[in-house]
Amino acid sequence: MDEPKVFLIGGGEIISRETEEIDRAALAARKKSGAIVFVGAAANDSESYYECFKNYYASMCDEKDFVMLKSTTSAKEAREVLLGASLVYFGGGSTEVLYDVIQKWGGKQLLEDALENDVILAGLSAGAYVLAKEWRHFEDGKVETGPGFGLADITIECHSTDDSRKAIAEQTDENFIPLRNCEYYSC
């Protein structure tokens, strides 16, 4: 089996190091040197989220080059930064906002080009949703659905619970991979 290049993380708090085992696996999968890039568009380009991410990841590796791409970054600059990275991490927040930003930068083709350049892609919650083929989310008695870019050819549910898994299965009658917080899928 090929080594994983895509890591979908079901949720968890990096500030509490809840996903450390997963994050270390993503770091270990890197095949080249280059910046570790954080995309925080889903969280309104939160500087505090980026600083927390940077400090956390810096504590696990020797990399000193960290970059935050904001939703206002041009498509040309985003492409240059992403293709030169060793790892790109898509943070949690609003899936729709993150999807739209990636679409503006070049969408699926850009992400596929990154994989071709041996860039590791990791996503937490909303970040995982955009990397999957499709996503399901259960909230307030309703199942929300949406597209991802299909870097992982699966349908996922993040922040999964027993109740949400059951409700999604009943309301959609389809196969999906439920990911609890601190669980992941890689391919």
Collapse the DSSP code of 139 into the 3-class scheme (helix H, G, I; strand E, B; otherwise coil) and give the result.
strand
In a domain, 41, yes or no: yes
pLDDT of the residue at 141? 87
CA-to-CA distance for 183 and 165, rounded, in angstroms?
A: 14
Instruction: Give the residue numbers spanning the domain of 106.
Output: 6-186
Q: d(Cα 54, Cα 50) in Å, to the nearest integer? A: 6
Please report whether residue 1 resides in a domain.
no
The answer to whether residue 97 sits within a structural domain is yes
- The domain spanning residue 116 has which CATH number? 3.40.50.880
Question: In this predicted structure, what is the pLDDT of residue 174?
Answer: 73
Q: Which two tokens stand for residue 2?
A: 């090929």
DSSP at 174: S
Q: Which residues of the chain have pLDDT under 70?
A: 1, 173
Considering its fold, how many domains does the chain have in total?
1
Residue 70 DSSP one-character state:
-
Residue 87 lies in a domain: yes
